[in-house]
Structure 1
Amino acid sequence: MTASIHPLNPAPSLDPLIALTAADMNAVNRVILARMQSEVPLIPELAGHLIAGGGKRMRPMLTCAAAALCQYPGARHHQLAASVEFIHTATLLHDDVVDVSETRRGKRTANLIWGNPASVLVGDFLFSRAFELMVEDGSLKVLKILSRASAVIAEGEVAQLTAQRQISTSEDTYLSIIEAKTAALFAAACHIAPVVAEAGEEAEEALNSFGRNLGIAFQLVDDAIDYTSTSATSGKDLGDDFREGKMTLPIILAYARGSADDRAFWKEAVGGTRTSDDDLAHAIRLFHATGAIADTLERARTYARRALDNLAPFPAGKAKAALTQAVEFAVARAY
């Protein structure tokens, strides 16, 4: 039976996941701190700006929680969770350069402070550190999972770049982009835990699917709250995606459902000629009129329910309960 999600009653929280993984994450953070060091002072300075920037560390926490779910007693997952976080951080550094972003998590971006070349090169350094940690683990299967995820993320970012300001972008193309650029790392972060725990193929398949579905839900919510949140709550300015011409699901749905005048507006907005504050306000009115935001969030809940279903093979306990709340939190943060 499909699990239900009640994002408002009671309010879900990441606290159970944070508590479950606290000891593991202390170990992961020690690895991160040690491996971001370099004799070149700019590297730890710039990397530390982003790594210490207030992120939830959701992906390495998922690795640790999945290891707990599989009752893994060892410590290999600490280095691998650090590798996951380095991959994620490297992609953020590169993304901010590509998007010409000025804020992330409410702080100035590294590229704004140190410039684009430094941000790109420190991102490369962190990717290299991630692969060092994978190789040190010694598992070819783990190396294959994480290296494949890294390649897929890059493909997704390139696909998003080519879809930017392209009003003809389809819903299927959009979903393939977010599955690559976001969900692939969520899936890999969860998948490597049953591998090191030697939990078997069923557990690997379940946790890989769990991470993928959670990642899609997470990105759908992100794309919705770009039009409903503020920098104080989301860490970026309202309408950043709108001004950058990113073809996310709210725009795709609003364009498909709009009148001829609406569609003309969307073509100009996505094309970059209608990006003022008044234009953004008009876009938000069109989202509400067409139900585009509501339906994007409902799509997120569908993927979240699938993620909960993926946990069915695992026994009840603190790890399963924490992961369940993490899924519910991922969609509830839109409210």
Structure 2
Amino acid sequence: MNIETSVKPHDRLAAYLRGDMEKVSALIAERMASEHAPRIPEVTAHLVGAGGKRLRPMLVLAAARMLGYAGPYHVHLAATVEFIHTATLLHDDVVDESKQRRGRPTANLLWDNQSSVLVGDYLFARSFQLMTEPGSMRVMRILSNAAATIAEGEVLQLTAAQNLATDEGVYLQVVRGKTAALFSAATEVGGVIAGADDATVQALFDYGDALGIAFQIVDDLLDYQGESGATGKNVGDDFRERKLTLPVIKAVAKADAEERAFWVRTIEKGRQEEGDLEHALGLLDKHRTLAATQQDALGWAAKAKAALAPLPDHEVKGMLLDIADYVVSRIS
């Protein structure tokens, strides 16, 4: 599929889904309200108002609409997915001690860690209330499993991220948990609420899974070669936070004894000195791991597109194919 340079694919999808997304936004505003704890909507509004593509809720709506669903419960499920995502962002920023997200100060910096964690808990609870409203046990099973998988992935990352024994298989397990699980749940429940057959639901799951993996690999790659103005975070944050992401995992696999000692000192032991980031970038360049990581991202985007092949032609299908291309176009 060709990507139109004038209008980005997710913007075209947003325009197509504008009516539904307005309903999602209204439902989010309604359900994030709290009569007794005004800090909840304050913190939530800060993060929700920071922009972001709202890609995950749009995936729910897109899958449902592509299969002819007329509503209304795709809106509830899209809001559910956005609440889960927002809750994880609040918790992640506390865990990572982040100062910036989407180019703005994080909630934990503006308020405090306690507020971020507890408001995140509130949003998780709201998401579970929302997911019950369509009255589908299958939908609840998919979304509740996704919430558990996300948490599991984050905990796995705590131990794997600073352990040089972490290989690409463990990395993929982390990514499937912390990122891809919500993408695949979003597309899957869109199919389920539309009453699609099992093969179609599986195809939608496979698309979301591969898209989410490509999305996270690109994010990890941009940490080393992106522009902070474009990414909303500082280049090298993953290195400073001692996160063993795919470019470094590939470099460690090719490291000689001296290089391995560098990675042990900076990642495992956390003893980082002036100039270490530049040296790390030099090692990534030496072993061409950024290029290899880019190829992995392109491969997962291709898998996402292939997953949609059996689905009938539809305007939304074309947009989803273009989104898979666009996710990886950020690194070309």
Q: Counterpart of 2:243?
A: 246
* Aligned with 1:226 (options 214, 223, 226): 223
* Aligned with 1:13 (options 3, 9, 30): 9
> Residues 125-140 of structure 1: matches in 2 within 5 Å?
125-140=122-137
1:173 aligns with 2:174: no
Q: CA deviation at 1:288?
A: 1.4
Instruction: Give me the whole-angstrom Cα distance separating, in 2, the residues matched to 1:213 and 1:10.
Output: 26
Instruction: Give me the whole-angstrom Cα distance separating, in 1, the residues matched to 2:171 and 2:4.
Output: 28
Q: Counterpart of 1:67?
A: 64
Q: Counterpart of 2:29?
A: 33
Q: CA deviation at 1:21?
A: 1.6
Gaps of 5+ in 2: none
Instruction: Indicate the structure whose relative CO is greater, using CA pairs within 8 Å and at least 6 residues apart.
Output: 1
**AA matched with 2:46:** H
Q: Deviations over 1:235-294 (max 9, x none)?
A: 111111101111111110011112222111111110354534521111111111111111
Q: Counterpart of 1:24?
A: 20
Q: Counterpart of 2:107?
A: 110
Instruction: Give me the whole-angstrom Cα distance separating, in 2, the residues matched to 1:160 and 1:231.
Output: 24
Q: Counterpart of 2:46?
A: 49
Is the CA contact 1:195–1:204 (under 8 Å) kept in the aligned structure 2?
yes
Q: CA deviation at 1:231?
A: 2.3
* Aligned with 2:283 (options 274, 286, 289): 286
* Aligned with 2:263 (options 263, 266, 275): 266
Aligned-partner SS, 2:64: helix
Is the CA contact 1:77–1:196 (under 8 Å) kept in the aligned structure 2?
yes
Q: Counterpart of 2:309?
A: 312
Instruction: Give me the whole-angstrom Cα distance separating, in 1, the residues matched to 2:117 and 2:6.
Output: 42
TM-score calculated relative to the size of structure 1: 0.95
Gaps of 5+ in 1: none
Is the CA contact 1:59–1:186 (under 8 Å) kept in the aligned structure 2?
yes
Is the CA contact 2:100–2:233 (under 8 Å) kept in the aligned structure 1?
yes
Q: 1:141 to 1:234 in 2, by over 3 A?
A: same
Aligned-partner SS, 1:74: coil
**AA matched with 2:309:** A
Q: Deviations over 1:65-91 (max 9, x none)?
A: 111211112221001100000000000
**AA matched with 1:19:** A
Instruction: Give me the whole-angstrom Cα distance separating, in 2, the residues matched to 1:9 and 1:77.
Output: 30
TM-score calculated relative to the size of structure 2: 0.96
Over the matched positions of the two proteins, sequence identity in percent amounts to 48
Is the CA contact 1:7–1:332 (under 8 Å) kept in the aligned structure 2?
no
Is the CA contact 1:178–1:216 (under 8 Å) kept in the aligned structure 2?
yes
Q: Counterpart of 2:144?
A: 147
Is the CA contact 2:10–2:53 (under 8 Å) kept in the aligned structure 1?
no
**AA matched with 2:27:** V
Q: CA deviation at 1:6?
A: 7.5
Instruction: Give me the whole-angstrom Cα distance separating, in 1, the residues matched to 2:60 and 2:175.
Output: 20
* Structure 1 range deviating more: 122-131 or 160-169: 160-169
Instruction: Give me the whole-angstrom Cα distance separating, in 1, the residues matched to 2:321 and 2:240.
Output: 35
1:184 aligns with 2:184: no
Is the CA contact 1:97–1:111 (under 8 Å) kept in the aligned structure 2?
yes
Instruction: Give me the whole-angstrom Cα distance separating, in 1, the residues matched to 2:57 and 2:240.
Output: 31
Is the CA contact 2:47–2:107 (under 8 Å) kept in the aligned structure 1?
yes
**AA matched with 2:294:** L
Instruction: Give me the whole-angstrom Cα distance separating, in 2, the residues matched to 1:251 and 1:141.
Output: 39
Instruction: Give me the whole-angstrom Cα distance separating, in 2, the residues matched to 1:270 and 1:122.
Output: 31
Q: CA deviation at 1:14?
A: 2.1
Q: Counterpart of 1:199?
A: 196
* Aligned with 1:160 (options 151, 157, 179): 157
